[in-house]
Amino acid sequence: MTSDLSDWPIAAAMLPFSNRLADGTPLQEASAEQWQPLFQEIAEAGFDRVDLSDNCFRPGDLSSAQLDALASVIKSARLVPSSISVVRSSVIDERHGNDHLAYSHRSLEAAARLGIGTVSIGLHRPLTEAQQRQLWFWTVEGHRDDPDDPDDRAQWQKAVTRIRELGQHAAELGIVLSLEMYEDTYLGSADSAVAMVEEIGLPSVGLNPDIGNLIRLHRPVEPWLEAFHKVLPWSNFWHAKNYMRDEDTERGHYVAFPAPMESGLINYRQAMKLAVEAGFRGVICLEHYGGDGLSVCAANQRYLRERVLPACRHVTQGLSQVKQPSLK
């Protein structure tokens, strides 16, 4: 990365895209020719990097031949695959944890084959039926893991052990593993997330400081700036998004909805300066829910490149507590 930060890796998430083609064919089963328009659209929006979010298709479940075809398609669109985001595949899920652990290992192997240096995982679960019925799923509580519950301590240790296993595998492959912050999981607060990374104790394992996941909740939340101060020194990848938020604590009224990065509650100019000071050098993956998500993400990239990153050039660059990814 250059000293003026002009080449900071910024990737488009694939959240705005369906996991099925117009005819109903799962994207996972589509041909390389059918994948091509999707990546071309991302490139035409102004991106040169893409995060392979597994809401669209699952790289860890693609064959070697499919992965090679995927790499060729991405390259032909003049994109670089920067990261894989594994979502809602908790390795401590009571029913599917073993399968999710195996899938996470396969995702690391897929990343290595694709030349990707970052894989993000989390401890959040699939959406409940009640969440699926909402316009915004975060307005309804889902599964809850409580780091302060003594009865949950065995689950905490299971998470530490399994993520450490994945972190060791990642290190062997030259990849960094990032843990996505998400409400009501062991990564659902700044203190709990940092405690987990410290207990795992591997340089290859850091945090994905997705504070956007927390400020959108329709209930009291920890102050975003305090959270960033705590987690950025341990961060190695970043799902970045923003939300408008209104609170009336006297009435118990809390509401939030998606917003462009420059307009929402989080001041990303301030957050990015803190990140540089903390030694963060990871990929920034832009996400947005609702509307034309790709166009909003494209505008967010311009906001970062034209206004935020130039403001960070004179910030003293610090040293992270965890390894940062090797970037192409």
pLDDT bin (cut points 50, 70, 90) of residue 174 is very high
Structure tokens at 62: 């693609």
What's the distance, Cα to Cα, between the start and end of the chain in Å? 9
* 231 pLDDT higher than 80: yes
- Amino acid (one-letter) located at 323: K
Decide: 226 and 190 in contact? Cβ < 8 Å: yes
Over residues 179-188, mean pLDDT:
97
Q: Tell me the Cα Rg of the chain.
A: 19
Candidate from 43-52, 109-118, 144-153, 259-268 with smallest mean pLDDT: 144-153
* 1 pLDDT higher than 90: no
- The H or E element spanning position 108 is helix 97-114
* 3 pLDDT higher than 90: no
- Residues in a beta bridge with 154: none
| Percent of the chain topping pLDDT 70 | 99
Inter-CA distances, 146 with 41, 92, 155, 196, Å: 41, 13, 10, 13
Identify the DSSP state of 282: -
Structure tokens at 146: 């409580």
Identify the DSSP state of 5: -
pLDDT for the residue 146: 80
Statement: the pTM of the whole predicted model exceeds 0.95? yes
pLDDT for the residue 191: 97
DSSP, residue by residue, 50-91: EEEETTT--GGGS-HHHHHHHHHHHHHTT-EEEEEE--S--T
pLDDT in tens, 273-282: 999 999 999 9
pLDDT for the residue 4: 79
pLDDT bin (cut points 50, 70, 90) of residue 197 is very high
pLDDT for the residue 258: 98
Query: Which has the higher per-residue pLDDT, 154 or 46?
Result: 46
How many angstroms separate the CA atoms of 81 and 288, rounded?
19
- Amino acid (one-letter) located at 89: S
Decide: 162 and 90 in contact? Cβ < 8 Å: no
Over residues 207-214, mean pLDDT:
99
pLDDT for the residue 149: 77
pLDDT for the residue 327: 80
Structure tokens at 237: 């990848």
Domains of the chain: 10-311 (3.20.20.150)
CA-nearest of 286, 327, 290 to 45 is: 286
Identify the DSSP state of 317: P
Inter-CA distances, 191 with 91, 153, 282, 322, Å: 21, 16, 21, 16
